[in-house]
Structure 1
């Protein structure tokens, strides 16, 4: 059953194959808003085109946010590529402007961190861009702390701000 936020028109549910094209479109719309285009960003990550399959793997989960029945964002968690087995990564958390500020990001964050704990992870890592101020405030409110350098091998060399949270 989908979870709802303070706005009764917003629902959060696990990703399905029918959501793949829409999530790819959302990611490729949101990233350039923050200057993230070209090599080193998720916009060019082939996983963006088949998110439901990528997050059906062990220790992975992804949720989409529906606003008035239309998918307008999402976020998930998966093992940190090239990292230790106790560390996961908060991944591909992107929302169209229409759902920002409605509490959906905080709810997806809670679902992702709860799933990470259930999967047995001890830490959660994320990387982002300076300028994504609202996202960084959400990360910090959720308990993430900035770290000085990247972890693992995410392939997103364009990111310049890194966070870690003990679960």
Structure 2
């Protein structure tokens, strides 16, 4: 197992789009997340660098030896108030799991959210993504009973909120 010091987290670039799309389309089926309502069918997946170039958006990739192993980002919560962002599309290939990359990515995303002036961070996930749920809870997110905003993630069944 490698240490988190051997991975780098940096803002996404256009040349990362295909690699990040591949990561998402590889990881989602592992958890049964296929079809409408999941990121795998979201057209944004193919052009993440453009989608997150908007104001108050940020997306980061984690790489090792020049290979993109995952990513995560924040954006204003669709259908939400201006104080709430959504943690979005945080997925890692198996090689990046269990080495602290998720914790480091979470910190980077939450720092970006605070810098963009958000006061709350919301996320949606899927039962069965147990390691991700533990990361969210360790990061201070609390589970809430119902979805917020209008994310279009119809397949998600677990909802979390963090006061920044």
TM-score normalised by structure 2 residue count: 0.97
Cα offset for 1:6? 4.0
2:72 matched residue in structure 1: 75
1:41 matched residue in structure 2: 38
2:104 aligned with 1:121: no
Q: Deviations over 1:114-153 (max 9, x none)?
A: 1111111110000000000000000000000000011111
2:146 aligned with 1:163: no
Match of 1:100 among 85, 94, 97: 97
2:107 aligned with 1:110: yes
Cα offset for 1:9? 2.6
1:58 matched residue in structure 2: 55
**Runs of 4+ displaced beyond 3 Å:** 5-8
Question: C-alpha distance in 1, partners of 2:117/2:7?
Answer: 29
1:134 matched residue in structure 2: 131
SS of 1:127's equivalent? strand
**Aligned residue-pair number:** 163
TM-score normalised by structure 1 residue count: 0.95
Cα offset for 1:67? 1.8
**Preserved CA contact (<8 Å) 2:4 2:101:** no
Question: C-alpha distance in 1, partners of 2:8/2:163?
Answer: 28
SS of 2:159's equivalent? strand
Question: C-alpha distance in 2, partners of 1:7/1:89?
Answer: 25
Question: C-alpha distance in 1, partners of 2:87/2:14?
Answer: 20
1:25 matched residue in structure 2: 22
Match of 1:13 among 10, 13, 18: 10
Question: C-alpha distance in 2, partners of 1:87/1:118?
Answer: 13
SS of 2:35's equivalent? coil
What are the ranges of 5 or more consecutive residues in structure 1 without an aligned counterpart? Answer: none
SS of 1:152's equivalent? coil
